[in-house]
Structure formats: C-alpha cells, structure tokens
Structure 1
C-alpha cells in the first residue's frame, strides 16, 4: 500500500544497492571487501564510517537535539558460508559450516574458495555419493558435514595437487548468491539475511542526503560482521539508549509475516523485546498504513540479542522485511524493503512533508 512515507523513499536505489551487496562475498569473518564498499557509499552521502577493532562499522548522524539520547539501527553484512576443514586424498575439500544451515540447502551449489594469498577458485558442493547411477543409496545418503565435499573446477585429483593451487585448511568458502530481482518486485537470492536490511538502512541515508533532513535524536547506523555466529553486535557505544535490530522476518508454520510485510518480532530465543518500543513500532505501522505482522521466533537470535547478552544497558527491538526460506534459497519483495525503511523513518519522527 502506498503512503507518503514509502513513496518518498528511493526504491530503485535500495534495490540497485542490494543487488551490488549480494554479489560481494562476505561470510562471517570475511567482510573486508563489503565493509570497504559501505565506507565508500557512506562517503557519497557525506558521512564517515568508523570501524571497531573487530571490523564493525558505525555511521553517526548527529541529531538536532542530541540530549534526547542516541538511537541505533543495526544490520549485519556477514552471511552464511563455509571454511575448508581438510583436503581429502582425492583432492576434494571437506568443509565446516559458517553459520547455521542445513547441508541439503547447499547441495549442488556453486561456490568460491578464497585463499589467503588472494586467489579464488570455483567449485561445487556435492554429496560424497553424487550419482544415482553409481551409488544405490545416493537418495538416502544423509546430507551432513561428513558426507559433503567441494569439487574444485581445476585439474586436481589428489591432496598434493590441490595444495599446489594454494588452497589450505582455513580458507573461506562463499556461496553463489544467484541474485534475481524481478520487474514485479520479487527479490530472490541467498543472503537476503541480512543484506536486504543493510540496503534499507542505506535507503535512509540516501533519503536524508536528498531531502536535507536529519533526526532530532542522534542516530547511529551499525553494520556488524559476525552476527551469523552470534556475537556481531556484542559491543556497542555507551551513548546508545535504544537499539533496533533490522534483520529478516522468518516465514512459515505458525507465523503471520509474509514477504511483503514488515516483521515486528515480539520475542525470540533471547526472550521478549522491549514492550514499549515494540508497541510504538506497531502503532506507527498502523498509523502510516504499512503492512506488518507481529511474530515470535523461538529459533532466532539477532544483533539486539547479542548486544543485550554483551551487557549493553539499552532497550531493544527487532524488525525487518519478511524473507521466505531463511538460510536457504531466500525470497522477499521490494515492498517489504521499502516499508521497513519507512517504519524506521517514522520511528525517527521524520516528516516527509
């Protein structure tokens, strides 16, 4: 549904920047390139992105009434991926996952192996029993770490030949995102968790630059690099009093969120989010006619969870675009991205008139 808030946001910019981000490999712990790209984009809008020692980025937008306390919005750039666990005698690679996903969701996926000296090799993730023509139990073979391997697209059939390529234990593996942004607004790709939210936050920056408006409260945008492994935003600057984690809303059994909605999470595995903040977000979604749903995610944690567990003395909430098939072949809709950004604008109290 169109309204003054989402109509003033630059939908094309958000989608174009999202597509670019999705193409940059960034499994947890391997976010150097994508963070550099965020720095460059922030500078285009006149902002500087500070870096924390572990690699998170913080953009500060000074408010007109900073005495009201600092609000932070956080999203994560790190994604699922893998690491080389060992090189097998046949030259293929055994992997260990980065982040939590089912192995069957990456079977048959193209990937890149990133060596520590900067080389990249293509490969494919396969079951160790690859073909029903060869293995009678190929269909029943359990898709688990020990039964999966990467076939490298190089002439190698031994451990020694693979090592000569420069591939070693501890090298990062990233999945082909397979990005598709359709004319009807559907967006399907790996890693919409959480690059969709990152693009939405940069949509706010683009809006502020274009309109010349800024919030009354000082706003910090925090981009974390270790969310998928649980400690992305465990440290936060001490001036922050309120934190909204912007992360994907899960879709499925017992849940109300759709791919066109803003998901407002009332409780996840870390417990309930701040009652007053969550209520305010619901009120604003209603007021501005933004499609939304309130859900409970018992198998879910966020960067707000990490901040609270890390000892941050803040109130926290969680929202984000609805994403189907999370941690697998994900899909959302452009409406959900724009409406998420619109709700964040409304929470800032920014007028579009």
Structure 2
C-alpha cells in the first residue's frame, strides 16, 4: 500500500468517527492505536491534544499540527413537544446543516439518531418555507423515537449539554473524489499519518526533530495554544486549503497559505513551503484566505515564539458537505515529505 493510499484509508476511517470540538475521545483513541502500530512514542496532554515524538534531531524542532475536532452542535433545550433546540459548535451558517441526519450522544454513552429540520419544513403546509430565516430559533432536531413531550425525551437520558454529531456521508468515487463532512481537518490528520508512516519506513528522513500534534479545540480557536515542546521553533498547520472565487486553490492541488484573517504567515516558512512544492514537482497554489484561522495562530496568540506556516489540500464547500480529490492529498503529502527533509 502506498503512503497516499494509506492516508486516504485513514481519512475515510476518521470521517466515520464522530468528534465535535471537545468530544474527540474516540478519534484520539483511533490515532493512538495507529501510532502504537507505527512504533512512535506519544503523550496525551491535559487538554486532550495528542503529541507524538517522531525522533531525529535534538534541537530546532519542527511541529506539524492538525486538528481532529470538527463542527457539531449541542443540545440547548428540550422542547415541550419532544424536539431539541441546538447550539452550534464551531462556525457555520444553519442552512449548511438543514435536513442533515445526526446522532445525539448522551453523557451515559447512549446514542440516538435524528434529523435536523426547520421548525416549519413542509412546503405543503407553510408557504414561506424558502423565506424562513435559518437561525437557532428556526432549526430543531427531530428524534427517531416516539416522543411527544419533554419528559419523554428526558426518559431516554437526553439532557441539555449532550453532543450532536452530523452524518458525514463519506464517499470515495471511482474518479478519485472524496466527498464528506469534516474533511476539515480529517484530511490533514490522514496526511500526517501517511507522513509518519513514511518516516517510520525511512522513505522520508527528516533533517531535524519532528513532532506532530493533533488538537481537540481548533474549531473554537484555541487548539494549539498550549503544550508545545520547548525545542520547537517552527510550527506548520496541515489543514484544508480554502477553495472559492478569487482564490487560486483547487481540489487537485496543495494550497500554501500566505495570509489569512490572522495576518501574514512567516515569510521564510511560506518561501520554504513553496520551494518544497517546486522540488517535489507537485501541483500547488499560493493563496490568501479571506475568512480563516488556524491552529498555529492560536500558538502565536498564546505567546509562543515560533515561526508559522499553513498548508493543505484544496477543499471545496468548506464547513458544509466538503469535497477534495486524491490528487490534492498526494500533492500535500509529497510536499511535506520534501519539506521535512530540508535543512
């Protein structure tokens, strides 16, 4: 199995594991088992980030970071009619989850399925369905249970504060497209697993010490704010490349971010990523993302003295039903293999 195939396999596996921000235990367990198989040492931080030591040099370490947490929701209240009002986890417009199947995860470990609907969903009953504002008041979860009251729902063990995950609807087409929710950032996580395997096999031999961190709170802005080893001088986020009008990025290439909402990325790191892309002869773009923030920026805001960069496969329809192509996965992996071998 090639490293690209391995990465894709892991991406598909990870997309099937619910992991809204703060509810990442199952996904982290999966990663731990994978790194055990690869033979690398790791620690789980108090904040539920997974920090993996891939060895090699002693100083001037590089850390590659991806986030395992995804968008999701939480039960806000149980309505008198047995429906659930929700509170968003992460940033997305409500229309992007309308009519989505979901799972409610109780504190006792029970799971119940449901569907996210408008409170007035039927065009045969409500003439203004298309004009109804998509907001917290007009969206609700209808459970796949015979419930008719708040008490009926409480009897199931569902309570405010329970997590809600969205059906990822993951598909790998015969033409190489990966379509799924949560490619942000399970694509990045899978790519780092592929890189770790290449390093384990000595196919890729870094010139410096390498760490990988997988965070649980990126979608709410403070994923990589803590637990950075002292010897780390550079951090590169491996996250999705934003695709859309006004950008060069596409779903077949690796995107190198020069600037996003948090400002410019480190000039030397961006230049080095571009050099790595050219050396590895992959399809790449350099982009400025208008509405974006990354794990590595939370490291800077927390006061860490590091240089920072951001790279990832182009992903279309971000924070919705996303799509990319195996060409973008391969391009990102090859760029990173070259990047870690550079001085």
Match of 2:39 among 31, 35, 46: 46
CA distance in 2, matches of 1:100, 1:145: 13
Q: Please, which runs of 5 or more residues in structure 2 have no aligned partner?
A: none
Corresponding position: 1:332 with 2:319: no
Match of 1:188 among 176, 179, 204: 179
Corresponding position: 1:109 with 2:104: no
Match of 1:26 among 10, 19, 28: 19
Corresponding position: 1:323 with 2:315: yes
Work out whether residues 204 and 341 of structure 2, in 8 Å CA contact, stay in contact via their aligned partners in 1. Answer: no
Q: In the TM superposition, what whole-angstrom CA distance separates every residue of 1:172-215 from its partner, at most 9, and x where no partner exists?
A: 00000000011221100000000000000000111122336542
CA distance in 2, matches of 1:159, 1:218: 55
Partner in structure 2 of residue 132 of structure 1? 123
Corresponding position: 1:227 with 2:223: no
Match of 1:310 among 302, 308, 328: 302
Q: In the TM superposition, what whole-angstrom CA distance separates every residue of 1:229-267 from its partner, at most 9, and x where no partner exists?
A: 000001122221000001001111110100011110001
SS of equivalent to 1:220: strand
SS of equivalent to 2:46: coil
Corresponding position: 1:216 with 2:207: yes
Q: In the TM superposition, what whole-angstrom CA distance separates every residue of 1:74-101 from its partner, at most 9, and x where no partner exists?
A: 0000000000000001100000000000
TM-score norm. by structure 1 comes to 0.95
Partner in structure 1 of residue 264 of structure 2? 272
The 5-angstrom pairing of residues 134-173 of structure 1 reads: 134-173=125-164
Match of 2:194 among 198, 203, 210: 203
TM-score norm. by structure 2 comes to 0.97
CA distance in 2, matches of 1:211, 1:79: 32
CA distance in 2, matches of 1:26, 1:288: 33
SS of equivalent to 2:131: coil
* Residue correspondences, number: 342
Q: Structure 1 residues 29 and 224, CA, compared in 2 at 3 Å: closer, same or farther? A: same
Match of 2:250 among 244, 258, 272: 258
SS of equivalent to 1:82: strand
Work out whether residues 62 and 211 of structure 2, in 8 Å CA contact, stay in contact via their aligned partners in 1. Answer: yes
Shift of 1:9: 4.9
Partner in structure 2 of residue 248 of structure 1? 240
Partner in structure 1 of residue 30 of structure 2? 37
CA distance in 2, matches of 1:179, 1:212: 30
The 5-angstrom pairing of residues 289-300 of structure 1 reads: 289-300=281-292
SS of equivalent to 1:348: helix
CA distance in 1, matches of 2:156, 2:38: 42
CA distance in 2, matches of 1:213, 1:228: 31
CA distance in 1, matches of 2:341, 2:197: 17
CA distance in 2, matches of 1:62, 1:211: 12
CA distance in 2, matches of 1:141, 1:193: 29
Work out whether residues 42 and 52 of structure 2, in 8 Å CA contact, stay in contact via their aligned partners in 1. Answer: yes
Worse-superposed segment, 324-333 or 210-219: 210-219
Shift of 1:297: 1.1
CA distance in 1, matches of 2:63, 2:165: 29
Work out whether residues 39 and 48 of structure 1, in 8 Å CA contact, stay in contact via their aligned partners in 2. Answer: no
Shift of 1:350: 6.9
Shift of 1:283: 1.6
